[in-house]
């Protein structure tokens, strides 16, 4: 299940978003062969970036995060667009210690958000522990000055399969009262077992049971890479023909690998010849 539920709560002073990204995390596990700790950290980062992607206004809007710390997982990159197509990479997917050691306890995260206007927004925040939730809460507090409270849980079974991946996000609306902000903070701090409960009841039922709200808005999200053979062909055509021929002479083919979906595109001499002739 990949679903985003959005509504208002606490007297309509707080925006509430619940994300069930279980299938999306399983897709990431399959693509990148993630260990359990890597899957938890990567999954939480992808859920948080799905939340950020949901606020993109332009149809062509895009957002990306680069999380670079001193952890065993190395750099994590997550990208998304306004259609909630998510994808990502991790430098080392084979981490077997603990979740907080995946990104480490020192480093920084850079967010680049392109809303389709002239200049993309770039925000950077340092982190001092391995908690993904704290990292994104600090980003919102420092870079966007928006009090945002986050609770995430990713459950991985003994077969390295994600059985539930859920994120709960509460963001104070402009002019929200201190009591509404405190209610949102206490809710995200006190709630436990949200992944198991959403797995059992469903995302909409969870929101209906725990939070007073108005209408629910639902959207779908997915792990979906933008690469294709046609896009790669366009990149090859932008290269110098002599450079392409030199690669073919040395390797016998031109190989392009997509880190987001772990796909290889091979182009042999006859493919290149046809490509440039048709162009």
For 129-143, what is the mean pLDDT? 92
Digit-coded pLDDT (tens) for 138-160: 999 998 888 899 999 999 999 99
Digit-coded pLDDT (tens) for 247-263: 999 989 999 999 999 99
The predicted pLDDT at position 58 comes to 73
Asked, colleague to colleague, whether 2-223 and 229-278 share their fold, the answer is no
Digit-coded pLDDT (tens) for 155-178: 999 999 999 999 999 999 988 999
Fold classification of 229-278 is CBS domain Like (3.90.1280)
Report the Cα–Cα distance between both ends of the chain, in Å, rounded: 42
Q: Assign 3-class secondary structure to the chain.
A: CEEEEEEEECCCCEEEEEEEEHHHHHHHHHHHCCCHHHHHHHHHHHHHHHHHHCCCCCCCCEEEEEEEECCCCCCEEEEEECCCEEEEEECCCCCCCCCHHHHCCCEEEEEEEECCCCCCEEEEEEECCCCHHHHHHHHHHHHCCCCEEEEEEEEECCCCCEEEEEEEEEEECCCCCHHHHHHHHHHHHHCCCHHHHHHHHCHHHHHHHHCCECCCEEEECEECCCCCHHHHHHHHHCCCHHHHHHHHHHHCCEEEEECCCCEEEEECHHHHHHHHHHC
Residue 61 vs residues 163, 176, 201: alpha-carbon distances, Å:
31, 27, 33
2-223 CATH choice from 3.55.30.10, 3.30.1490.20, 3.40.50.10490, 3.60.150.10? 3.55.30.10
The predicted pLDDT at position 214 comes to 72
Indicate whether 279 pLDDT > 90: no
Domain ranges of the chain: 2-223, 229-278
Indicate whether 32 pLDDT > 90: yes
- pTM of structure: 0.91
Residues 6 or more apart in contact with residue 162 via CB below 8 angstroms: 22, 25, 26, 29, 39, 43, 154, 155, 156
Nearest to 169 by CA among 29, 5, 37: 5
């Amino acid at each position: 299940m990949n679903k985003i539920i959005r509504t208002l709560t606490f007297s309509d002073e707080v925006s509430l978003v619940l994300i069930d990204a279980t299938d999306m995390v399983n897709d990431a596990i399959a693509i990148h062969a993630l260990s359990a700790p890597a899957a938890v950290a990567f999954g939480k980062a992808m859920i948080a970036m799905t939340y950020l992607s949901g606020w993109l206004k332009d149809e062509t809007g895009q957002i990306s995060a680069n999380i670079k710390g001193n952890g065993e997982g190395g750099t994590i990159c997550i990208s998304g667009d306004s259609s909630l197509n998510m994808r990502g990479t991790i430098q080392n997917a084979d981490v077997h210690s603990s979740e907080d050691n995946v990104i480490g306890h020192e480093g920084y995260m850079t967010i680049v958000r392109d809303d389709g206007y002239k200049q993309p927004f770039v925000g950077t925040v340092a982190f001092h522990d391995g908690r993904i939730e704290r990292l994104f809460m600090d980003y919102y507090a420092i870079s966007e000055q928006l009090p945002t409270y986050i609770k995430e849980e990713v459950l991985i079974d003994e077969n390295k399969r994600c059985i539930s991946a859920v994120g709960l996000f509460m963001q104070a609306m402009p002019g929200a009262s201190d009591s509404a902000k405190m209610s949102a903070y206490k809710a995200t701090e006190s709630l436990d077992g949200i992944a198991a409960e959403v797995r059992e009841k469903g995302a909409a039922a969870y929101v209906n049971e725990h939070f007073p709200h108005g209408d629910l808005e639902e959207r779908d999200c997915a792990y979906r890479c933008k690469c294709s053979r046609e896009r790669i062909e366009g990149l090859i055509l932008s290269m110098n023909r002599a450079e392409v021929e030199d690669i073919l002479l040395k390797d016998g083919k031109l190989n392009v690998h997509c880190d987001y979906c772990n796909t290889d595109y091979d182009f042999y001499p006859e493919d290149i010849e046809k490509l440039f002739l048709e162009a």
